[in-house]
Amino acid sequence: METEKQEATYIVSIKTTFNIIKRILHFMYYSVSIYLLWILIHFCASHLYIYYCVPMTVSGLLVSPFLTCAPHCKALNWAIYNGSNIISYMWIIVGTWVCSKIFINFTQ
């Protein structure tokens, strides 16, 4: 009787732990995928901006003042600027989290 009760408690404990791990992994998947998406946007926008807005030719030099005001160049510039900021914030968040884990482990 006692062993059956212990087994039931053990199974409930395993299920609870599994559910907690599952929720954490689900949260991490979406958090990481958002940052990976911004890294991809920043990378693509940087290369597209160079190709479409500041071509490496003499005529590109002459038309670049006009192209930088074009809507597609403004959109690419926005993506580059905001992508860079979000990537920087990502590293601040990761660094803060790592430091907090180190601090918590050393104080215990």
Model pLDDT for residues 6-15, shown as the tens digit of each residue: 666 666 677 7
> What proportion of the chain, given as a percentage, has pLDDT over 70?
88
Residues ≥6 apart with Cβ < 8 Å to 48: 76
Distance CA(66)–CA(60), nearest Å, equals 10
In this predicted model, which residue has the larger pLDDT, 29 or 83? Answer: 83
Q: Is 19 helix (H, G, I), strand (E, B) or coil?
A: helix
Q: For residue 55, what pLDDT is reported?
A: 87
Listed range (23-27, 59-63, 68-72, 91-95) with the worst mean pLDDT: 23-27
User: Hey, how many other C-beta atoms are within 10 angstroms of the C-beta on 49?
Assistant: 19
For the whole model, what pTM was predicted? 0.70
Given a cut of 70, is residue 82 above it in pLDDT? yes
Reported residue count of the chain is: 108
Distance CA 97, CA 89 (A): 12
pLDDT at 70: 95
Per-residue pLDDT at 3 exceeds 90: no
Determine the Cα–Cα distance for residues 79 and 40; give it in Å rounded to an integer.
10
Distance CA 48, CA 105 (A): 45
More reliable by pLDDT, 107 or 52: 52
* Alpha carbons 42 and 76: distance in angstroms, whole number: 9
Residue 2 has pLDDT above 70, yes or no: no
Q: Where are the domains of the chain?
A: 2-107
Distance CA 43, CA 54 (A): 16
